[in-house]
Amino acid sequence: MYVVVGAGLAGMAAALTLQKSGAEVAVVESSDRAGGRVASDQIDGFILDRGFQLINANYPEIKRWNLLKDIDFKTAPRTVGVSTSSGIARLGDPRGALFSTFSKKTGSIFAKASFLRYLAGSPRFDESVEEHFLRTGVGDFYFKVLKPFLQGVFLAEPSKVSATIGREIIGSFINGRSGIPSRGAGELAAQMALQVKDLRLNTQVEEIVEGGVQTSRGFISAKKIVLATDLTTAGQLLGADEIGALAGSTTWYHAASTAPSSSAELIIDSENRGPVINSIVISNLSREYAPTGQNLMSSTTIKHASESEVRRQLAQMWGSSTEEWRFLAKYEINSALPLFQPGYKERTEVKIEKNTYCAGDYLQSPSQNGALLSGRKAAEQLLIDQRS
Please check whether residue 338 is in contact with residue 346, taking contact to mean a CB–CB distance below 8 angstroms.
Answer: no
- DSSP 8-state secondary structure symbol assigned to residue 139: T
Contacts (Cβ under 8 Å, ≥6 apart) of 379? 13, 14, 15, 17, 18, 226, 357, 359
CA distance 369 to 364: 9
Q: Please tell me the chain's helix, strand, coil percentages from 3-state DSSP, rounded to the nearest 5.
A: 35, 25, 40
Q: Characterize 182-199 residue by residue with b for buried, 16 or more Cβ atoms within 10 angstroms of its Cβ, and e for exposed.
A: bbbbbbbbbbbbeebeeb
Q: In what order do the strands lie in the sheet with 356-358?
A: 199-200, 25-28, 2-5, 224-227, 356-358, 351-353
pLDDT at 354: 84
Neighbours of 24 (CB within 10 A): 12
pLDDT at 242: 63
pLDDT tens for each residue of 59-68: 999 999 999 9
Type of residue at 219? F
Contacts (Cβ under 8 Å, ≥6 apart) of 235? 242, 243
Low-confidence ranges of the chain (pLDDT < 50): 94-104, 106
Task: Please give the domain boundaries of the chain with CATH numbers for all domains.
Answer: 2-38+185-245+347-387 (3.50.50.60), 94-169 (1.10.3110)
Helix ranges, the chain (H): 9-20, 60-64, 109-120, 129-135, 140-141, 147-154, 163-174, 186-193, 231-238, 282-285, 307-318, 368-387
pLDDT at 138: 82
Q: How far is CA 65 from CA 9, 12, 17, 58, 121, in A?
A: 11, 11, 10, 12, 32
pLDDT at 100: 42
